[in-house]
Chain A
Amino acid sequence: MGLIIIATGSIAALAAFFAIMLSIAHSKLKVEEDPRVERLLEALPGVNCAACGFASCRALAEAAVKGEVEVGSCVVGGNDVAEKISRIMGVKAKVVEKKLAFVRCGAGKSEREKKAIYQGVETCRAANLVMGGEVACSHGCLGFGDCQRACPFNAIKMLDGLAHIDFSLCTGCGRCVQVCPRNIIVLEKFNDLNYRVKCSSLDKGKKAREVCKKSCIACGRCVKSCPYDACWMDNNLARIDSRNCQVCGICALVCPTGAIVELENSGKK
């Protein structure tokens, strides 16, 4: 019996001793933190996507409190978050332009030609270093899905070896743009309905056609038929100027290879 009392008593004494030590440490060694950091963290999306250039949302919040970054730095959060942040920080909100990622290649595995057999590291960035692996086009999607793995929001799906972006999930953080070795993913402003050139080949028509069924062959029909002068040709590749585009869709109709496509941004936030 005596043994139990001794054991319980000594454990209780130890517990009391540590409790006192901890409370002293808590009051003496306390680090003062700006209360706004906690509130900012609540306002931020909390995905730690690092699109702002900081490693985490907390790092951004700490920098924002110090006044090192602007309130609109969180591209993922967009206007809503920028407004909340500006309320917490007591500054005027700046309008953030919402952008979404867009893949400038439209050829799946079955539509693009193979030039070789590739047996190696199955990532786009490694394959691109050995002459692009098996894909004959030197500009198009390699199809190993580096962008899919990099996307923090699961917005990218690889279908038939081509990256597809779900606009309802895409936040425009730009991680996919950073990892794509062929630079075919771009961040663009989207309206409800858009026409876009789904190709980035700078090769001349004949060569582009040889390696891919869906490439822009620089025939210029879109340029000639566009009533609003929104289409133009740049280095063997058709481009559409979104400022002039009136979304009539003639370019997509006349394009012989189907390189110009209609995109519906149904999940617009």
Chain B
Amino acid sequence: MQSRTFKQGIHPPEKKELSKDKKIEKVPLPPQVIIHLSQHTGAPCRPLVGKGDEVEEGQKIGDHDAFISCPVHSSISGKITSIEKLPHPTLGEGEAILIENKGDEEKKWEEMETDLFSLSPEKIREKVREAGIAGMGGAAFPTHVKLSPPPAKKIDSIILNGCECEPYLTADYRVMIERIEDCIFGLKAIMRSCGAKNGYIGIENNKKDAIKLMQERMRNEESIETIPLKTKYPQGGEKMLIKAILKREVPSGGLPLDVGVVVSNVGTACAISDTLKKEKPLVERVITVTGDGVEKPSNLLVKIGTPIKYILKLCGLKEEAKCIIMGGPMMGISQWSLDIPVVKGTSGILILTEDKIEAEEEQICIRCARCVDHCPMGLLPTTLIKFIKAERWEDLEKLNLMDCIECGCCSYVCPSKIPIVQLIKWGKNEFHKISS
């Protein structure tokens, strides 16, 4: 069967072989965790605890009343040593709660018999919100918001995103292989809460065994289908995924629910399954630690809030390591401190050595339009950067700047090494300022 895909995009080296066959390992409890109050898109939480309080694993320690927000939980049992501003992997700096491990054993989460059909859609949404589940693919959008489509919008399909199109990362792949039942249970829960009839699991065809496993498992599932997709970046972008699987196009400025679709990551589905089966909030996640700068590339199950210093000590940081990236090489954010903790949206830690970093000086745009040829959203990066460099913020809207998904294809193919995505991010920021 021919694999489906979308138009344009790029083919970067996959580099998945480093950690592909490493089983998910559990990381021992760290001596201290840093729980950021803003780990999701939306309003940051307010702390519900104070300095000196004793907290239990899974206890809610921060929340906010806003709809687009979700609570944070303590990932270990221990004592709160302080609440202060600390380095944050995406925001630079943010309010965080420091919890010191008292040396207690990890809490055991008992699995209960759960019948999905006895749970009402409202109940599922409420449980997902209370568990603090945010999209685990990277953007960390609160999942309960995705599960509550406005009544006017009819959702007919749910897509589970198992593409993992970012090079190097293998966490989702391991989750699909090792926790296939939880993935499917999570998908069914999403389908039930949105009232959707069809479920799809999109997997890139470089993960042949995951596709085979899923297809075999789906033989007796009527409403769920496994779709092999062409290996191409950014196949895992939700708009690309919808286009490839359902041939629908999300309108400019719209959301997937405008075309009746909700897209969710496989990791998120597993977290939903944990919540419904074990009443377990989002306190841990699977990440990939990889790159040429680590001695032991691996897939790890870590507590949210574990400082990357602790994780890198386990995996062995090589001396020639030069650059630390939170996330994948295409969309990840380069970090300057090892005290940064894992947050809900962290899908991996990538350590690169000097020879893998290509930092050439920016040259002038030669208008070759390679970026135009590869932009999966069909934008005109050449024109956009011209306007941004001239600081003509008000004209950017006409060029659909806000539709940019910041996938980085344009920067990747640019022969003049222009940091196009950074310019676009700056343009978006300035545009927000003038329009507010």
Contacts and interface: CB of A to CB of B under 8 A. Distances in A.
B430 A125 contact: yes
A123 B426 contact: yes
B93 interface: yes
Q: Select the residue from A115, A121, A123, A138 with max chain B CB neighbours within 10 A.
A: A121
B96 to A, nearest CB: 15
B165 to A, nearest CB: 23
A131 B336 contact: yes
B337 A130 contact: no
Contacts of A130: 333-334, 422
A132 interface: yes
B429 A129 contact: yes
A131 B92 contact: yes
Interface of A: 115-116, 119-121, 123, 125-126, 129-132, 138
Contact of B419 (A115, A116, A120, A132): A120
B92 A121 contact: no
B423 A121 contact: yes
A130 B334 CA distance: 9
Given A131-B92, A132-B92, A121 B419 contact: yes
B364 interface: no
A138 B92 contact: yes
Nearest to A204: B84
Contacts of A119: 359
Nearest to A131: B92
Q: Which 7 A-B pairs have the closest CB atoms?
A: A116-B336, A131-B92, A126-B426, A115-B336, A119-B359, A121-B422, A120-B422
Interface of B: 92-93, 333-334, 336-337, 359, 419, 422-423, 425-426, 429-430
15 contacts: A115-B336, A116-B334, A119-B359, A121-B422, A125-B429, A125-B430, A126-B426, A129-B425, A129-B426, A130-B334, A130-B422, A131-B93, A131-B336, A138-B92, A138-B93
A125 B389 CA distance: 12
A125 B423 CA distance: 10
User: At the interface, is chain B mostly helix, strand, loop or mixed?
Assistant: mixed
Contacts, number: 32
Contacts of A116: 334, 336
Contacts of B422: 120-121, 126, 129-130
Nearest to B323: A117
Contacts of A120: 419, 422
Nearest to B417: A119
Contacts of B93: 131, 138
A201 to B, nearest CB: 12
B336 A121 contact: no
A138 B430 CA distance: 20
Nearest to B324: A116
Nearest to A136: B336
A126 B336 CA distance: 17
Nearest to B425: A129
Contacts of B336: 115-116, 131
Contacts of B425: 126, 129
A115 B337 CA distance: 8
A125 B93 CA distance: 17
A123 B430 CA distance: 13
Contact of A121 (B337, B359, B426): B426
Given A129-B422, A131-B92, A131-B93, 4 more contacts: A120-B419, A120-B422, A125-B429, A126-B422
Nearest to A126: B426
A119 B426 CA distance: 15
B157 to A, nearest CB: 35
A125 B333 CA distance: 17
Contacts of A126: 422-423, 425-426
Contacts of B423: 121, 126
A121 B361 CA distance: 11
Nearest to B89: A131
Nearest to A181: B429
B419 to A, nearest CB: 5
A95 B93 CA distance: 43
A119 B316 CA distance: 27
A121 B423 CA distance: 7
Q: Select the residue from B334, B426, B429 with max chain A CB neighbours within 10 A.
A: B426
A121 B422 CA distance: 7
Contacts of A132: 92
Contacts of B429: 125, 129
B275 to A, nearest CB: 32
B248 to A, nearest CB: 33
Contacts of B359: 119
A119 B419 CA distance: 9
A94 B153 CA distance: 57
A210 B334 CA distance: 22
A125 B426 contact: yes
Q: Select the residue from B333, B334, B336, B429 with max chain A CB neighbours within 10 A.
A: B336
Contacts of B430: 125
A202 to B, nearest CB: 9
Contacts of A115: 336-337
A143 B127 CA distance: 48
B420 to A, nearest CB: 10
Contacts of A121: 419, 422-423, 426
